[in-house]
Amino acid sequence: MIMTYLEAIADAMRQEMRRDPSVFMIGEDIGTYGGAFKLTKGFLDEFGPGRIMDAPISEAAIIGAAIGASLNGMRPIAEMQFIDFITNGFNQLVTVAGTTAYRWGLPVPMVVRGPSGGGVGGNPFHSRDPENWFVHATGLKVVCPAFPADAKGLMTASIRDNNPVIFFEHKGLYRKIKEDVPEGEYVVPLGQANVVRPGKHVSVICYGSAVHMALAAADTLSADGVDVEVVDIRTLVPFDEETVLASVRKTGRAVVAHEAVLTGGFGGEIVARITEKAFRYLDAPVVRVAAFDSPTPFAPTLEAAVLPNAEKLGQAIRNVVAF
């Protein structure tokens, strides 16, 4: 069935809520209003206020209550109205959720999800790509889907996972892309990268919105005879190192791309793994393409300038190929 990225996420949550009475949602304006992006439209009617809980503007309480409920047999899905507001619940995730398995050996099956990403004039407070903060936190799984079908399959897997999962939905993709999404139960296991476009000359390792930049750049470059392989890692934790290394061993060249800011981004980790484990295969230095190290600015001219795009990525790929 053809679905948008947003519809696919909703489809996964709706199916899991039908299947498993322990799944419930908590967040701001998710009930009657159906969520700031209308992602949970119709959920209140189907599942009732006991399972679609409108919460006060209290991200720490929302995430903390989700942790407590997950310790007591439930599988909560906590919505951040914008993922930027996850900062207000940071302590709950980093201090409590991410350490519980290690300290107590108890499952914390919960998903914290919400719209992330820039390119939509969101201003510095509605545009963040903060996924790598949580990679560094330990004990949290980090999911960044790029396609509707993956979004559905990864959401299903995230809800069923026994660990805290943070699910980053790129808001720019919500209604922009449509594709055929498997109907019914559909699981994409966490920790499996996907070669979304096979190629011979250079690997682009990326996730989220950067996957679409990479595919666009690959189309452009193919006219010049450059055959680009695009690897969508899909989940940062767990990280499918093997698929990435296999791609780089094959092509001998790599560009790493993400929309999040450059310094301290997950791209640095990917580069480190490649140089540690596939150095002998490299014909060129690995290059990163990412946002300028600033908050995401508001005006379209500034925002377009600091964020990566297909052209910037395309140029980086050319440079690596020409090295």
Catalytic residues: 126
Residues 6+ apart with CB under 8 A from 169: 5, 6, 9, 83, 113, 114, 115, 116, 145, 151
Exposed e or buried b per residue across 205-220, where buried means at least 16 C-beta atoms within 10 angstroms of its C-beta:
bbbbbbbbbbbebbeb
Treating both helix axes as pointing N-terminal to C-terminal, what angle do 209-222 and 310-322 enclose, rounded to 10 degrees? Answer: 60
SS3 of the chain: helix, strand, coil, percent, to 5? 40, 20, 40
Cis peptide before 238 (omega within 30 of 0): yes
Residues lying near another protein in the complex (CB under 8 A) are found at 24, 50-51, 53, 55-56, 58-74, 76, 91-92, 95-96, 99, 101-108, 138-139, 141, 162-163
**Closest C-alpha among 240, 237, 269, 265 to residue 141:** 237
Question: With respect to another protein, which residue has the nearer C-beta, 182 or 189?
Answer: 189
* Minimum gap (Å) between residue 146 Cβ and another protein: 23
Question: The tokens of 164 are what?
Answer: 């805290």
Question: With respect to another protein, which residue has the nearer C-beta, 8 or 93?
Answer: 93
Contact indicator for 54, 78 with CB cutoff of 8 Å: no
Question: With respect to another protein, which residue has the nearer C-beta, 95 or 319?
Answer: 95
* Minimum gap (Å) between residue 274 Cβ and another protein: 23
Residues 6+ apart with CB under 8 A from 312: 289
* Minimum gap (Å) between residue 78 Cβ and another protein: 10
Question: With respect to another protein, which residue has the nearer C-beta, 56 or 225?
Answer: 56
Question: With respect to another protein, which residue has the nearer C-beta, 69 or 257?
Answer: 69
Contact indicator for 4, 177 with CB cutoff of 8 Å: yes
* Minimum gap (Å) between residue 241 Cβ and another protein: 16
* Minimum gap (Å) between residue 208 Cβ and another protein: 22
Question: The tokens of 116 are what?
Answer: 């992330």
